[in-house]
């Protein structure tokens, strides 16, 4: 194995953990919360899915090997823990809910996802240089991060061109940035840290 990419197994482990903590478990929790009619958890999970959609956008950017994917991936890892703990009213409602399997699983997932995202963000900082032309995403040091996204393409979009999927990623990123800017500049000042206003 090329010594420049000695960390390839760590990259794949990072993607697998992200798949578990940011897709599989929250999807199960969302269904569970709807079945149990746990409204505060439902609201927080819906907010979570809106914020974490940046990870899906990042995958499509990475398929096309667009270097902006390194920045969007880092931002997703920063925004997800914020959205999980930001809302005072939802935190209080969840805290005062009766203890049970759903609350225990939900709380464990929140902490595990927070830890995973913070660790992922810290480990991705050294690779931010891949987002800039002087380092070049084509180097083996950077291109190893595209491999899991390319495998995703093989499974789910085998007949689509990387450029087209990257275009979808760019469109998604533009919409995401617009919605996030609207929230920060307009809605946040009105509703503060309350998710119900």
**Which percentage of the chain shows pLDDT scores above 70?**
94
Mean pLDDT (whole number) for 68-88: 96
Domains in the chain: how many in total? 1
Judged against a pLDDT cut of 60, whether residue 186 lies above it is answered with yes
**Cβ contact 81:190 at 8 Å:** no
The whole-number pLDDT of residue 136 equals 54
The whole-number pLDDT of residue 140 equals 76
The whole-number pLDDT of residue 2 equals 47
Contacts (Cβ under 8 Å, ≥6 apart) of 161:
none
Is residue 197 a part of any domain in this protein?
Answer: no
Residue 94 lies in domain: 3-191
Is residue 159 a part of any domain in this protein?
Answer: yes
Distances (CA, A) of 80 to 54, 92, 136: 9, 19, 28
Is residue 142 a part of any domain in this protein?
Answer: yes
- The whole-angstrom separation of Cα 5 and Cα 9 is 9
Indicate left, alpha or beta for 175 from its phi (over 0: left) and psi (-120 to 50: alpha). Answer: alpha
DSSP string, 13-60: HHHHHHHIIIIIHHHHHHHHHHHHT-HHHHHHHHHHHHHHHHHHHHHH
Is residue 166 a part of any domain in this protein?
Answer: yes
Residue pointed to by tokens 């993607």: 15
Three-state SS at 63: helix
Distances (CA, A) of 177 to 47, 107, 156, 190: 15, 29, 25, 19
Q: What is the pTM of this model?
A: 0.91
Is residue 116 a part of any domain in this protein?
Answer: yes
The whole-number pLDDT of residue 108 equals 97
Is residue 196 a part of any domain in this protein?
Answer: no
Is residue 155 a part of any domain in this protein?
Answer: yes
Note the Cα 33 to chain centre separation in Å. Answer: 20
In tens, the pLDDT along 7-24 reads 889 999 999 999 999 999
Three-state SS at 86: coil
Is residue 38 a part of any domain in this protein?
Answer: yes
In tens, the pLDDT along 131-175 reads 886 655 557 778 899 999 999 999 999 999 999 999 999 999 999
* Residue 80 C-beta-side C-alpha neighbours within 13 Å: 30
């Amino acid at each position: 194995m090329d010594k420049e990419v000695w960390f390839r197994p760590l990259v794949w482990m990072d993607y697998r953990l992200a798949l578990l903590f940011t897709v599989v478990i929250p999807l199960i929790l969302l269904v569970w919360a709807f079945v149990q009619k746990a409204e505060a958890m439902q609201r927080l999970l819906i907010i979570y899915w809106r914020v974490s959609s940046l990870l899906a956008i990042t995958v499509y950017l990475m398929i096309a090997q667009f270097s902006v994917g390194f920045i969007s991936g880092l931002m997703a890892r920063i925004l997800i823990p914020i959205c999980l703990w930001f809302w005072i009213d939802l935190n209080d409602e969840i805290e005062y809910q009766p203890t049970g399997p759903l609350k225990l699983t939900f709380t464990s997932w929140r902490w595990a996802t927070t830890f995973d995202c913070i660790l992922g963000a810290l480990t991705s900082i050294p690779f931010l240089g891949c987002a800039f032309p002087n380092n070049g995403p084509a180097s083996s040091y950077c291109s190893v991060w595209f491999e899991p996204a390319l495998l995703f393409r093989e499974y789910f979009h085998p007949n689509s061109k990387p450029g087209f999927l990257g275009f979808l990623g760019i469109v998604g990123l533009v919409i995401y940035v617009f919605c996030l800017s609207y929230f920060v500049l307009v809605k946040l000042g009105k509703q503060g840290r309350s998710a119900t206003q």
